[in-house]
């Protein structure tokens, strides 16, 4: 039962919501970059899309790490570093 109140608190936290909005935006941009690679007939466009994809993957990893850290911090007895 205690986990439910933590989940509810996280769902209403503006910082938490902002992280998930950023994750959604990065995932959408990543899907577009992958589509540009797959369907582009221009080699330069495909190469630029590959570079974009690499940058977006780094950004997605950063956002997901922040989300996991926020989830951990919300747990009872979570250790602070």
Per-residue pLDDT reduced to its tens digit, 38-71: 999 999 999 999 999 999 999 999 999 999 988 8
* 3-state SS assignment for residue 80: coil
| Global pTM value | 0.78
Query: 10 Å Cβ neighbour count for 57?
Result: 13
Q: Which residue has the higher pLDDT, 10 or 77?
A: 77
pLDDT in tens, 11-35: 778 998 999 999 999 999 999 999 9
- Buried b / exposed e across 10-37, counting CB within 10 Å, b at 16+? beeeeebeebeebbeebeebbeebeebb
> So what's the pLDDT on residue 48?
97
């Amino acid at each position: 039962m205690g986990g439910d109140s933590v989940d509810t608190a996280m769902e209403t936290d503006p910082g938490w919501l902002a992280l998930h909005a950023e994750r959604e935006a990065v995932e959408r941009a990543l899907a577009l970059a992958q589509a540009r690679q797959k369907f582009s007939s221009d080699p330069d466009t495909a190469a630029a899309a590959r570079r974009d994809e690499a940058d977006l993957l780094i950004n997605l990893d950063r956002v997901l790490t922040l989300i996991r850290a926020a989830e951990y911090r919300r747990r009872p007895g979570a250790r602070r570093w």
